[in-house]
Every structure is written in C-alpha cells, then in structure tokens.
C-alpha cells in the first residue's frame, strides 16, 4: 500500500461521521470505508485486498478516534 493511499484512507476516516464509525459492525465498517475510498480513487482488486486488511488491523484505532471526536463534540 502506498503512502498516498494511507493518507487518503485516514483523511476519509476523519471526514466520515464519527457516529457512523462507532455504530457499524466490523464488516460493515470495512465495507463502508472501502466503498467511499473507491469513489474517491479507483483501486484494483489487489489494492482493495491490501486496504481491507489494513482497515481490519486498525478497526480499534478507527473506533477510538471516532469516540474521541464524539466526546469532544459533546463537551463543546
């Protein structure tokens, strides 16, 4: 996976509503991010597999970041 793909993915995570990231089950979260990523940048099957594996390995971090954003919004 390229550094550009990583930047695009984390940018996408930041743009996605925190409540969505927290409430979706793991498989739905991966598919949601993959679908949105593919809209912004066409990727081939191999890249999709790499991205899927990467997202799966970072689900806890993605949810933690989303929960922190929700907590920040609640206290603002």
Does residue 50 contact residue 2 with C-beta atoms inside 8 Å?
Answer: no
Domain range list for the chain: 13-75
- Rounded to two decimals, what is the model's pTM? 0.89
What pLDDT sits at residue 44? 93
**Distance of alpha carbon 69 from alpha carbon 38, whole angstroms:** 24
What pLDDT sits at residue 72? 87
Q: Long-range contacts for 31-36 (Cβ within 8 Å, ≥24 apart)?
A: 33/9, 33/62, 36/12
Whether the CA torsion 47, 53, 57, 63 is positive or negative: it is positive
Per-residue model confidence as pLDDT tens digits over 21-76: 999 999 999 999 999 999 988 899 999 999 999 999 999 999 999 999 999 877 75
Does residue 33 contact residue 16 with C-beta atoms inside 8 Å?
Answer: yes
What pLDDT sits at residue 74? 72
What pLDDT sits at residue 76? 59
């Amino acid at each position: 996976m390229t550094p550009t793909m990583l930047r695009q993915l984390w940018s996408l995570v930041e743009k996605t509503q925190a409540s969505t990231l927290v409430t979706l089950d793991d498989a739905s979260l991966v598919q949601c991010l993959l679908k949105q990523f593919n809209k912004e940048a066409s990727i081939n099957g191999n890249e999709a597999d790499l991205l899927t594996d990467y997202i799966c390995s970072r689900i806890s971090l993605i949810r933690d970041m989303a929960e922190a954003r929700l907590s920040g919004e609640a206290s603002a």
